[in-house]
Amino acid sequence: MTYLVAILAYLAALIVVGAVRSRQVRDEADFMVAGRRLGPWVLVGTLVATWIGSGSLFGAAGLAYEHGFSALWFDAGVWVAIIVLYFVAGRVRAFAQFTVPDILEARYNTAARVLGTVVTIIAYTAIVSYQIRAGGMVLEFVTGIPASTGMALTAVFVIGYTVLAGMISVAYTDVVNGVVMTAGLLLALPFLIDNAGGWESIRSALPATRFELFGELTVARALGYSVATMLLLLGEGGMYQRFFSARDERTARRAVLGWIAGTIVLECLVAVLAVAGSARFGGIDGEMVILHVVTEALPLAAGCLCLGAIVAVIVSTADSFLLVPATNITRDIYQRFIRPEASHRHLVTFSRTVVVILGLAAWLQVSFFSGVLEMAVYAYTMYGTGITPALMAAFFWKRANGAGAVTSMAAGMAVTLAWELAGQPGGVPTVYPALASSLACLVVVSLATRPPEESKWRALEGGRRR
């Protein structure tokens, strides 16, 4: 009961922050990109807290519990992606729009915009869905209520909080969540190691493979995790939305440096806690190991604070991934094709309505997958092969054109769906055939058709470091 009270108190504090920040929402720019006035430290906090969600705290932790430090291959692709995004962030901010489909239309054509929106809706509702699943798992673990009830409560909170104030609220609460979660996990580490009898006891209790580069994972499976996470992050619309929210180009680039540092620290910390937890808490569901660490290895006060932060980070990731497709539908479909003359107030109201609809759709998807990791890899692959090759080519390959981009996006999405429905023939991870198809279509079709006009690739030249 104490942990439940702590979670509710923490979430209540977030609601207060959201309510205060909601007063600053005057138009769609405030709701979607925080009025383009986020400073570097707020930007770092929201980038880190958005990425470190249930995919890390449950999916990656579960992988580390079962396979040891080879689970860091799940995170390695992220670190590579953030380095690449350092060279993109300033150019994105200089473009000064709202969404990834804005970039796709400016660089390619309208069809790319629409297809990009479709891929985003499919992948991001799946990502929100496994955040809801994780929230339900936490509430079941802490209170004993059925997981389905916990998921419903999580969905209600996520939808309500996102509707409240959009990006301007999400960004500032992300900073608080990130700081508290980092402090809590750092505090948990020495307590857990001591509780498990010291590091040497942990090493002796586990197979040697848990401490090897690939461990019990095949090279193909390990790299499959890396490629999937790398592709998602390189094109992840929520991060681009945060670059659009930055005060200026320099702020966007500086924030990426803090982002990579924070992400490496937290993801390595989660892996160490999960590996140590596998020695201390044998025979549990691996995806729950961080919850066992927080509630059984930490003093009560620290455990309450850390558990509240974990729930808040799940909510933070969920509302961020819910806000992106809602913004896409509002900006890239409704305002672009249906009602271009809509007032600022009407667009905010429409965005909030879409948030509710997409949130309910995400909640209904929860039962389609067996675990957080499975849902994460599917969503990462869908988005990463459907969007990222065309998006990266928009910045780095002037010869890429609209025909190549559209066929690439369609191929990535179609092959992901087909390979998953076929049950991954031969045990080959879906990301490999999906990425190969997407890249082949992008290159072959672009080279076989007319080059783009110079104005197309020059649209994204602003903000480049000289």
For residue 388, what pLDDT is reported?
97
For residue 307, what pLDDT is reported?
86
Q: What percent of the chain has pLDDT over 90?
A: 57
Q: Please write down the HEC assignment for all residues of 184-218.
A: HHHHHHHHHHHHCCCHHHHHHHCCHHHHCCCCCCC
Sign for the CA dihedral angle at 321, 326, 331, 332 comes to positive
For residue 165, what pLDDT is reported?
61
Residue with tokens 């932790």: 61
Cβ-contact 327, 144 below 8 angstroms? no
CA distance 431 to 283: 31
Beta bridge partners of 246: 38
CA distance 129 to 367: 9
Low-confidence ranges of the chain (pLDDT < 50): 466
For residue 9, what pLDDT is reported?
86
CATH class (in words) of the domain with range 2-370? mainly alpha
For residue 357, what pLDDT is reported?
96
Name the residue ranges covered by the structural domains of the chain: 2-370
Inter-CA distances, 331 with 77, 95, 290, 326, 411, Å: 30, 16, 38, 8, 25
What is the C-alpha end-to-end distance of the chain, expressed in Å?
Answer: 57
Q: What is the pTM of this model?
A: 0.88
Cβ-contact 56, 270 below 8 angstroms? yes
Chain segment 271-313, per-residue pLDDT in tens: 999 999 999 998 999 999 999 998 888 888 888 877 887 887 7
Cβ-contact 293, 188 below 8 angstroms? yes
Residues of 403-433 as b/e, b for ≥16 C-beta within 10 angstroms?
A: bbbbbbbbbbbebbbebeeeeeeeeebbbbb
